[in-house]
Amino acid sequence: MSDALVKRVLRFAQDDQGRVVRTLGVSALLALGAVPAGSPVRATSATSAVAAVAVHHADAPLPLAEANDNRRAAGTMRGDTLFVQLDVRIARWYPESPTGPFVEAPVLGEVGRAPQVPGPLIRVREGTTIAVRFTNALTDSTVTLRGIHERPGADSVIVPPGATFGWRFVAGRPGTYVYRAIAGRVNARYSEREQLTGAFVVDAKGARTDDRVFVLNIWRQSTDSSPDVNAIAINGHSWPYTERLRAERGDTVRWRVVNGTRRDHPMRLHGFFYRMLSEGASYGDSAVTPSAQQHRVTYDMHPFTAMQMQWIAAREGNWLFHCHLSFHVVPEAGLTPVIGHEDHGSADATRHMAGLVMGVAVSAPHGATRESRVGARALRLHVQAASRPGRVTPLLGAVLQDGAVPATDSLAGTSSLLVLTRGQPTDVTVFNHLKQATAIHWHGIELESYSDGVAGWSGAMNRLAPAIAPRDSFTARLTLKRAGTFIYHTHLNDVDQLTRGLYGPLVVLEPGQRFDPRSDHLFVIGWDADSTRLNLVVNGDTIGAPLELAAGVHHRLRFIFISPADGGDWALRADTTVQTWTPIARDGWDLPRSRQRPEPAMVTGWAGQTFDFDFLPPRAGTYRLTAGDPANPDWSGTIVVR
């Protein structure tokens, strides 16, 4: 893909997912002059407040913002009250190396301490009273502070330049929340200022507090005439400078993840499923009962939400936790200029990834273990390119070898379906016939780290998986612990190789089962790009060929979302009426029985997610599967039931 198209892909994805949060109330009152200019104001008057004037030294050197690892809670406890003094000031933030590029922008901090990105962690037990004193040390911007209030609920504070405002409240319901400051006016299209966000955690009485807290932040500036400049970080750093996490095999790992940005982020854990313990929105948090807890490998975090998750470090090696939107993990995601195209295809994981990525190293207390390969099935998968009429750039794909002679320069619109069996070890040798390096990741499969497919990272210590160079091969050892719907896809030069088709479906069946295409249907959703446009494709096609289903038969519909960005909203209709189906699995894990109930046939998918539905056509006739607005869909396919 050309550099120009890469930029268009990035801009399309960023603009498409930018969210404008509209606020009414106090800001409107200020604009109308109903509240005296220069007065600190609260959106509600439920708590007492004190205002004072803060002194700002305009000629003082800019402080350096620290990367906040969220291990230390802000404030001081006195009796049953936490006293917190926060401010916002201009600081210099280095999201990459201490000598690398930097951003000068408003940053939150504790008074008397260095400012931090993300903002200082506020963490208390339920029932705690919190006394906050907030200073706006900016000279030219009013600051709106949201999220530091009793939960559940919504409240905000507006503090003019140079003012200090104080208030008290009881923490409220246990959960994981986000708070944020908004300095001045932000153009939602061209600017993002989510370095001004932090985590607010309320722990239940008697609950464990040995979890880790991670906050996602984005600072972005763009114009119509210049490239985007991005600083995207987890706990203040961008890969490869993010914290390296460690665990021992068998450990139970608990994380709280806060999306402090206005974007969606499908957060992906390699090698393991994690359980969702709670899901938080801006105003409240809901614990998930054990019987309803879902296991995920990818969870889409909406803007300004949080999750509490738990997973078992069952296998040693290096693993990743990252956003599955390609433009948040490629070299362009950082502030450091991309020196050359070789960065995208480098075997060095510190060069071919950037942005919202964290590394996790799981060690084995008594040495590495090797899984038995007795009775392993052997497959040969050929990665190759093929030209197609009307396309400027060749398509890429992976073709499963059938027989002794591999097919070359032959792609049937999409990569081969791999059908494997639960409990049967399978070794897949990937042959690279491209002119560039690649790497194949086995998405959702619980396997050894060395086979995970992240060049220069998968494996452990001095044994790291290489990129698959042109005319070379690599054997991935797959361990098939559960039946379900999974994906294999490139994990190198992601935007280019994904938009040219280097991904495919992977279905694992129970022993004795056979894949029956008459009742088992795949919808692999991605992007197809050439030098001039982007197209939404399903199973490699921009226009869906009619699919025939038998009436009176249960059909399994398997949706796989693997575009570089979002997958969008999908629905199955007869005329204008949304049909009914039953969700049965997500990310390759069967849903709890409580979730397997008929519901409207609509699904919103994000990159890296899979969904399985049972569909019993109510009658013969013609149905439509559409993406986006049904009147003007991004993609439409016809399903004929006979």
Taking the C-alpha atoms of residue 632 and residue 568, their distance in angstroms, rounded to an integer, is 14
Contact 169, 153 (CB under 8 A): no
Q: According to the model, what pLDDT value does residue 241 have?
A: 97
Contact 10, 1 (CB under 8 A): no
Task: Tell whether the model's pLDDT for residue 229 goes beyond 70.
Answer: yes
Domains and CATH numbers, the chain: 3-343+347-361 (2.60.40.420), 516-642 (2.60.40.420)
In percent, the amount of the chain with pLDDT more than 90 equals: 71
Examine the pLDDT at 270 and tell me if it is beyond 50: yes
Q: Is the pLDDT of residue 230 over 90?
A: no
Q: What is the pLDDT of residue 333?
A: 85
pLDDT bin (cut points 50, 70, 90) of residue 243 is very high
Q: What is the pLDDT of residue 43?
A: 37
Contact 41, 134 (CB under 8 A): no
Examine the pLDDT at 34 and tell me if it is beyond 90: no
Q: Is 217 within 8 Å of 236 (Cβ atoms)?
A: yes
Task: Answer yes or no: are the C-beta atoms of 266 and 325 closer than 8 Å.
Answer: yes
Tell me: cis bond preceding 617? Omega within 30 of 0 counts: no
Across residues 206-216, what is the average pLDDT?
94
Higher pLDDT, 273 or 347: 273
Residue 344 to residue 342: CA distance in whole angstroms: 5
The confidence score (pLDDT) of residue 79 equals 94
pLDDT reading at 318 higher than 80:
yes
Span of 14-23, 324-333, 339-348, 561-570 with lowest mean pLDDT? 14-23
Output the 3-class SS for 502-520: CEEEEEEECCCCCCCCCCE
pLDDT in tens, 398-411: 999 977 666 555 56
Residue 530 has pLDDT above 70, yes or no: no
Nearest to 555 by CA among 608, 625, 609, 506: 625
Cross-strand partners of 180: 146, 197
| Between residues 365 and 171, the one the model is more confident about | 171
Q: Which one, of 336, 486, 379, 482, lies nearest residue 423 by Cα?
A: 482
Instruction: Report pLDDT digits (tens) over 460-484.
Output: 988 999 999 999 999 999 999 999 9
What's the confidence (pLDDT) of residue 408?
57
Q: Is the pLDDT of residue 27 over 50?
A: no
**Res. 16: pLDDT tops 70:** no
For the cut 90, the answer to whether the pLDDT of residue 2 exceeds it is: no
Residue 209: phi and psi, rounded to 5, are -125, 25
**pLDDT (0 to 100) of residue 389:** 67
Q: What is the mean pLDDT of residues 67-89?
A: 97
> What percentage of residues in the chain have a pLDDT greater than 70?
84
Confidence class for position 323, pLDDT limits 50, 70, 90: very high
Confidence check: pLDDT of 608 > 90:
yes
467: left (phi over 0), alpha (psi -120 to 50) or beta: beta
**pLDDT band per the 50, 70, 90 thresholds, residue 414:** confident
pLDDT at 405: 60
Least-confidence region, from 1-5, 283-287, 624-628? 1-5
Confidence bin at 637 (pLDDT 50/70/90)? very high
Reported confidence tier of residue 60, pLDDT bands at 50, 70, 90: low
Calpha distance 140→117 (Å, rounded): 21
Arithmetic mean of pLDDT over the chain: 87
Does the pLDDT of residue 579 top 90, yes or no? yes
Report cis status (omega within 30 of 0) of the bond before 152: yes
> pLDDT tens digits, residue range 474-526?
999 999 999 999 999 999 999 999 999 999 999 999 999 999 999 999 999 99
Residue 591 and residue 294 in contact, taking contact as beta carbons nearer than 8 Å: yes
**Mean pLDDT, residues 246-261:** 97
The pLDDT of residue 390 is 66
Give the predicted TM-score (pTM) of the model: 0.90
Is residue 381 packed enough to be buried (19+ CB in 10 Å), middle (13-18) or exposed (0-12)? buried
> Residue range 34-61: average pLDDT?
37
Q: Taking the C-alpha atoms of 450, 452, 458 and 461 in order, what is their torsion angle to the nearest 10 degrees?
A: -30
